[in-house]
Amino acid sequence: MKLAMIGLGKMGGNMATRLLRHKIEVVGFDFNADTVNKLAKEEGLIAAGSVADAVSKLSGQKIVWMMLPAGDITENQIKDLIPILNKGDIIIDGGNSNYKDSQRRGAMLAEHGIGFMDSGTSGGVWGLENGYCLMVGGTKEVAAVVTPILKALAPAENRGWAHVGPVGSGHFTKMIHNGIEYGMMQAMAEGLDLIKGKEEFNLNLAEITELWRHGSVVRSWLLDLTADALKDDQELTGIAPYVADSGEGRWTVMESVEQGVAAPVLTLALQARFRSQDATGYSYKLLSMMRNGFGGHAVKMS
């Protein structure tokens, strides 16, 4: 089997590598030529000098998997692919696109007779070694064609991947997945902060997180990663208290508003990330001012 992979960054490059190691031919293109050449030399990638060149190296029913940033870059790339693909060819968006965009793009491509699959892709930098969790949306016909690729990328042929529903459902499922991830991370971070703050017990966070990994109901991959990090430095020296948020966390909260479904944990986890991104801390200054105004509480001056 053969496909083109457009975008060979951390995720795309590792996914291409995993496919190649599972004996699936991959034609790859990225604007970073060094990345393309490295994968060609070390893994047997078929190098392409442009997207059009990558497509030209495919034959029969062409499959193009994109691993690109959500938004205009993905939108424009899909539009550029339409005139160089044929009816029956397939485009897969494995990035973090908004599911509503995926629904619209799927309908647009259907008018040209081109199949579309949206793949919610989880696994991060560990996916190459452990496999990726793939939540895909599309027609049964498209899913049947792409199944060998999904099996190669997943942790095993019979687990870690699923055709969850029609076009858009893959990215929708991944969006909710990321919202849940926010809540889990926030709960873990707050709990460990409380343990660290109980100075009279002098608790060892590395020891406790390692303990929780075995038999505890909170054991998880997130806990594994946390325990590994704390083994080296419990103070997390050099790490700024700033947490970025992806579009998917915001979209999840917006979805809860649209559906009228309460999601306080996911919403507060997102808001906590917003708070960490406030470089000026102006609202904290206002809070201090108000406490001083109604209660005469001291104001700490910078």
Which among 43, 100, 141, 174 is annotated as catalytic?
A: 174
Q: How many Cα atoms occupy the beta-carbon half-sphere of 218 within 13 Å?
A: 16
43 is catalytic: no
235 is catalytic: no
Beta bridge partners of 47: 28
Which among 181, 198, 199, 248 is annotated as catalytic?
A: 181
In whole angstroms, what is the distance from residue 251 CA to residue 179 CA? Answer: 8
* Phi, psi angles (nearest 5°) of residue 17: -60, -45
Cβ-Cβ contacts under 8 Å for 215 (sequence gap 6 or more): none
What is the radius of gyration, based on Cα positions, of the chain? 23
DSSP 83: G
| Nearest alpha-carbon partner for 28 in 3, 11, 10 | 3
User: 38 exposed, middle or buried (CB, 10 Å; 0-12, 13-18, 19+)?
Assistant: middle
CA distance to 7, 62, 242, 247, 250, per residue, from 271 (Å): 31, 43, 13, 13, 9
The catalytic residues are 174, 181
